[in-house]
Amino acid sequence: MAATYNFTFTDLIDGVSPAGIGNYYGEKNKDRLLFTYVSLSYDLQFGGEKDLPLKMMKTFRFMLNGI
């Protein structure tokens, strides 16, 4: 879970400004954006990594011995 809060240098992003009429009238402040998100991940390799170091050692020994 994460969040970012962005300050902008403009008041034109959302269309609300002191020059607007009705619902589009707003303060003179610059626009700010808050973005939050959640990320999920799942590893689809089941148990294949347990044997990987042993296989790598055998390969390394093969390269050293030339067998």
pLDDT in tens, the chain (67 residues): 899 999 999 888 887 778 888 877 777 888 889 999 999 888 776 655 555 666 666 666 665 665 5
Q: How confident is the model at residue 15, as a pLDDT?
A: 77
Structure tokens at 57: 């050692």
Q: How confident is the model at residue 46, as a pLDDT?
A: 64
Q: What is the CA radius of gyration of the chain?
A: 28
Can you tell me the distance from the alpha carbon of 67 to that of 63, in angstroms, rounded to the nearest whole number? 7
Q: What is the pTM of this model?
A: 0.46
> Which DSSP helix (H) or strand (E) runs through 53?
helix 52-65
- Residue spans of the domains in the chain: they are 1-43
Can you tell me the distance from the alpha carbon of 11 to that of 16, in angstroms, rounded to the nearest whole number? 7
Which residues are CB-neighbours of 14 under 8 A, at least 6 positions away?
31
Q: How confident is the model at residue 67, as a pLDDT?
A: 52
Structure tokens at 19: 């020059």
